[in-house]
Structure 1
Amino acid sequence: MAQDTKNAKAEMLRRLKRIEGQTRGVQKMVEEERGCADILHQLNAINEAIRSVSRLLAENYAVECLQAPGKRGKSRAAIATMLDVIAQVPR
């Protein structure tokens, strides 16, 4: 595994753990019957964090697949797969 891939993986895991913590925080807010505005604010932060991780993953996928298409098949197939993945990334 290349160093850049290891770094990207570590960064994704760090962000996902943070999202997990934010989600647990929202669960606690709901249990404590906190205000809707506060809960919605936290949910928006979680959504943005998920979009950020999705972009990071898509970028890493593009680098991995397009720099070395021989590993994953033909270049055209790698590009088609990457475009499908990018189309699914939340905006």
Structure 2
Amino acid sequence: MRQSMGRTGSCYDNAAAASFFGLLKAEIGTRVWDSRQAARADVFRFIEVEYNRTRLRRHPEHGYLNPLETRILLQHNLTPAA
């Protein structure tokens, strides 16, 4: 992973990415994998299984849905009328 930088003087540019990478480190750890493929598989599993499918958006405005359910609902609501 590489460090990313936001605009000079704006601490909010990188807040979402920093929050995500902090969560990623907490969940899968900072261990050394046997291969790049093993590391990629662990990161992919975390993002696709844990983060996108089971994590709830902790706000009643979002209906406490996970990101996958939110995307499906949004796609359903934006279907053009025939």
Scaled to the shorter chain, the TM-score interval is 0.3 to 0.5
Compare the two structures and name the one with the higher helix fraction: 1
Q: TM-score, normalised by structure 1?
A: 0.33
Q: TM-score, normalised by structure 2?
A: 0.35
The answer to which structure, 1 or 2, has the higher relative contact order (CA under 8 A, 6+ apart) is 1
